[in-house]
């Protein structure tokens, strides 16, 4: 069971706002949008289209990191799939649907920093500041997510619910 916290229409509005913020920050630099799999799939797609509608051209890449077992982070971030594009001298936008402990995005920042990206920023739909385990903030944030376990729009509970077209809090009984 779940309670919807962001409808499809609300998601569209938040994504368009974030795209405008990112477009304003680019400063003419070449952009690589890097989705952090698997949760990012819908958000990355919608954000890249919203940026395109604003005239922003971008390369799209994905990385895959794993650190969860059920509803808990193991604390150990493993890079399962690394970057495939040359990021030297480019603006890399890390896109993830939710920022919790910060460990996964910290790992992604390190990877791109070591590869020579000119600038690396993070764009997240949802932020759980209370869950942060490392000192890391996303430059672009859709909204605060509180402490509930969130599903839908790419976010899962044991690989279920990713395909929901909205964001909801999971109600566990």
Q: Could you tell me the CATH number of the domain that includes residue 158?
A: 3.40.50.2020
pLDDT digits (tens, 9 = 90+) for 44-74: 999 999 999 999 999 999 999 877 555 565 6
CB contact set of 140 (below 8 Å; sequence gap of 6+): 18, 21, 22, 25, 121, 122, 123, 124
| CA angle, 91 then 97 then 101, to 5° | 95
Burial of residue 167 (CB within 10 Å: 0-12, 13-18, 19+) is buried
**Residue 3 token pair:** 């309670």
| Domain of 125, in residue numbers | 2-170
The pLDDT assigned to 71 comes to 52
CA atoms of 7 and 141, how far apart (whole Å):
17
Phi and psi torsions of 105, nearest 5°: -65, -35
The pLDDT assigned to 63 comes to 92
User: Annotated active-site positions, please?
Assistant: 100
The pLDDT assigned to 37 comes to 87
The average confidence (pLDDT) of the chain is 92
Per-position b or e across 108-133, b if 16+ CB within 10 A of its CB:
bbebbeebebebbbbbbbbbbeeeee
Least confident among 31-40, 42-51, 71-80:
71-80
Q: Number of structural domains, the chain?
A: 1
The pLDDT assigned to 83 comes to 87
pLDDT digits (tens, 9 = 90+) for 80-118: 888 899 999 999 999 999 999 899 899 899 999 999 999
Instruction: Kindly report each contact of residues 168-173 with a partner whose C-beta sits within 8 Å and lies 24 or more positions away, as own/partner.
Output: 168/2, 168/3, 168/4, 168/5, 169/2, 169/3, 169/5, 170/1, 170/2, 170/71, 171/1, 171/2, 171/3, 173/1
* Reported pTM: 0.91
**Residue 39 token pair:** 């949760």
């Amino acid at each position: 069971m779940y309670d919807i916290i962001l409808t499809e229409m609300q998601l569209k509005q938040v994504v368009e706002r974030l795209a405008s913020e990112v477009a304003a920050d680019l400063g003419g630099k070449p952009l690589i949008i890097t989705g952090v799999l698997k949760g990012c799939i819908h958000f990355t797609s919608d954000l890249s289209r919203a940026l395109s509608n604003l005239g922003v051209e971008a390369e799209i890449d994905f990385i895959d990191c794993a650190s969860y077992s059920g509803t808990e982070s193991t604390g150990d971030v493993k890079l399962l799939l690394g970057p495939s594009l040359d990021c030297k001298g480019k603006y890399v936008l890390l896109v993830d649907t939710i920022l919790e402990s910060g460990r996964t995005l910290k790992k992604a920042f390190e990877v791109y920093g070591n590869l020579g990206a000119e600038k690396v920023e993070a764009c997240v739909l949802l932020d759980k500041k209370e869950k942060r385990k490392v000192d890391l903030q996303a430059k672009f944030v859709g909204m605060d997510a509180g402490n509930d376990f969130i599903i839908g729009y790419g976010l899962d509970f044991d690989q279920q619910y990713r395909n929901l077209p909205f964001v909801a809090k999971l109600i566990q009984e």
